[in-house]
Amino acid sequence: MQSIGTDIQKAKAIIEQNGLVAVPTETVYGLAANGLEESAVAKIFAAKKRPTFDPLILHIPSAHNLSRYVQHVPDVVQTLIDRFWPGPLTVLLEKKDNIPDLVTSGLPTVAFRVPNHAVTLELLRSLDFPLAAPSANPFGYISPTTAQHVADQLASEVDYILDGGACTVGVESTIVGVEGNQVVVYRLGGLSIESIESIIGQVVIRSHSSSNPKAPGMLESHYAPGKPVYIGSITELIPQFKGKRIGILSFQETYTGCDAIEVLSPSGNMIEAATHLFAAMRRLDASAIDLILTEKFPDYTLGKAINDRLQRAAVTLH
């Protein structure tokens, strides 16, 4: 049975024995294992019930470690690394042969990032290999942003949960790569497009894939609660579900005619809204409601990432 604690040395020992440890990052909690040991990586897929065609992200303590695992870092990617690591930016690069194919789902590229969390950085510095660490949740479900979220959903699947407090960003990292001379965003996330473009200019956004994704987190259906989610004008949606117990997920407005409501940021702060997103979705999913109504968020900064997560969780209205 898993336990929750703050013992970095215990986490290190378990990982070095090819066990699974949930680790905190600024984005979400990750389910971590030795990223160079295929048998350990296989445990991640088994614990999450994650399809092996969905590649993983590797975590390292600093950019200096990249040269051990990738063929080349394009100048434009290095510029982003210099500006945004450690932080919620993942880069997709051509891998060396020491990266197991299971990590990359057989693709020639591998995703790397340096998390901006003191606890996990200390753990990473104590290891001589990268950590494969997708979000510590059953595949397709809402990502965890506290240690208790991990305990609630993975139970005995994980050997230890390293508690680093609540995540401060609350949505997964932004994933970028280069195709030709163009920077491509494969997953919208905790680093805004505006921040990236302020450094390197315009990028291409290609964040969905129905099958065989090129990068982690690109599957069309993902991040979903057990209750159906509908997106639209909340005031127009409420009458369509008369007789149903309705939960509402709102940016900053309150509503009547519902059985449960989560307002992510009454002050309209997009960073605060992103931080609260997954925890609010979990509370609604656990409440006595039949469905969740939500709205499209303002499509700027982290609103783009919030909209991306909600869209993948949603049921299409016909």
DSSP notation for 275-314? HHHHHHHHHHHHSS-SEEEE-PPPSSTTHHHHHHHHHHHP
Q: What pLDDT sits at residue 224?
A: 78
- CATH number, domain with residue 84: 3.90.870.10
With a CB cutoff of 8 Å and minimum separation 6, the contacts of 71 are 93, 94, 95, 96
Structural domain of 252: 229-313
The answer on 254 and 156 residing in a single domain is no
In a domain, 265, yes or no: yes
The number of distinct structural domains making up the chain is 2
- CATH number, domain with residue 255: 3.40.50.11030
Q: How far apart are CA 307 and CA 299, in angstroms?
A: 8
Residues of the chain with pLDDT under 70: 1-2, 208-212, 219-222, 315-318
- pTM score over 0.75: yes
Q: How far apart are CA 188 and CA 206, in angstroms?
A: 9
Q: How far apart are CA 270 and CA 300, in angstroms?
A: 9
Q: What pLDDT sits at residue 310?
A: 92
In a domain, 210, yes or no: no
| 232 residue type, one letter | G
Q: What pLDDT sits at residue 211?
A: 57
Name the nearest CA neighbour of 170 among 69, 84, 273. 273
In a domain, 211, yes or no: no
How does pLDDT run across 253-272, given as a tens digit for each residue? 999 989 999 999 999 999 99
Q: What pLDDT sits at residue 173?
A: 96
How does pLDDT run across 119-174, given as a tens digit for each residue? 999 999 999 999 999 999 998 899 999 999 999 999 789 999 999 999 999 999 99
The answer on 285 and 174 residing in a single domain is no
| Orientation angle between helical segments 8-16 and 118-125, nearest 10 degrees | 50
Q: What pLDDT sits at residue 318?
A: 41
In a domain, 249, yes or no: yes
Q: How far apart are CA 264 and CA 76, in angstroms?
A: 35
| Orientation angle between helical segments 193-200 and 75-84, nearest 10 degrees | 120
% of residues, the chain, pLDDT over 90:
85
